[in-house]
Amino acid sequence: AQTVTQSQPEMSVQEAETVTLSCTYDTSENNYYLFWYKQPPSRQMILVIRQEAYKQQNATENRFSVNFQKAAKSFSLKISDSQLGDTAMYFCAFMKPLGPGTYKYIFGTGTRLKVLA
Amino acid sequence: NAGVTQTPKFQVLKTGQSMTLQCAQDMNHEYMSWYRQDPGMGLRLIHYSVGAGITDQGEVPNGYNVSRSTTEDFPLRLLSAAPSQTSVYFCASTLNNEQFFGPGTRLTVL
């Protein structure tokens, strides 16, 4: 069975600094996707970044980038130039397509990030 | 598009009461799912549906029922609420490997 582990329950970073959130997963599958979601105090789940396992190149979205190490089953999120609005809970998620229009998602337990002014 | 909508945003129930959490999406997505979010446990899948008329159990289905009579709507029913069902509930729809979440319902069972 697939598992997703986020070993850092809480982290803090100074505004404008860089922070890395860790995520490891366990799977025997070869075709899967990985995601980072942001959940601010508003509770809304917001997709930050996604990575297809078959792509070797690390995904990047503005200040957010990932370090995808497929062999090590590691998927860390780097936030550069941290902003106060980045304060949120961050969830790592694994997704495996099960067939046409069917998916299996596994979420980590989350990392609460606080950006300090 | 309104995306995924959920009602109500907040609800307080007494033990033993029943209620339905509403979820609707206007993106014509076939796959929809319900999660519960508890502190320190991430999101856990309750039930999911791959299309109208088809539903199946997820990781934590006990105490919950679902139905899918239309593509748009996927309500979640609590038949007899228990304090252990105090949680935040999210509905989501998925297309092309991307999941879209509703705003969530915070449910408290006293």
Tens-digit pLDDT string for chain B (110 aa): 779 999 999 999 999 999 999 999 999 999 999 999 998 888 999 999 999 999 999 999 999 999 999 999 999 999 999 999 999 999 999 988 889 999 999 999 99
Q: Tell me, what DSSP letter sits at residue B73?
A: B
Q: Which two tokens stand for residue A50?
A: 């996604």
Task: Please compute the mean of the pLDDT values over residues A28-36 and round it to a whole number.
Answer: 93
Which residues of chain A form beta strands (DSSP E)?
3-5, 10-14, 19-21, 24-26, 33-39, 46-52, 60-61, 64-69, 74-79, 88-99, 102-107, 111-116
Q: How far is A117 from chain B (nearest CA, A)?
A: 26
**List of residues 6+ apart from A42 with CB closer than 8 A:** B103
Contact: A44, B103; criterion CB under 8 Å: yes
Nearest to B86 by CA among B48, B38, B17: B38
A54 CB near a chain B CB, below 8 Å? Answer: no
* pLDDT in the model for residue B40: 85
* pLDDT in the model for residue A60: 95
Contact: A105, B99; criterion CB under 8 Å: yes
Nearest to B87 by CA among B45, B49, B56, B55: B45
* pLDDT in the model for residue B2: 79
* pLDDT in the model for residue A102: 84
* pLDDT in the model for residue B34: 98
Q: How far is B17 from chain A (nearest CA, A)?
A: 25
Q: Which two tokens stand for residue B78?
A: 């609590």
**If interface means Cβ-Cβ distance under 8 Å, which residues of chain B face chain A?**
30-31, 33, 35, 40-45, 50-51, 88, 90, 92, 94, 97-99, 101, 103-104, 106
pLDDT in tens, A76-105: 999 999 999 999 999 999 999 888 888 889
pLDDT in tens, A40-68: 999 999 999 999 999 989 999 999 999 99
Q: Which two tokens stand for residue A88?
A: 């949120």
* pLDDT in the model for residue B46: 97
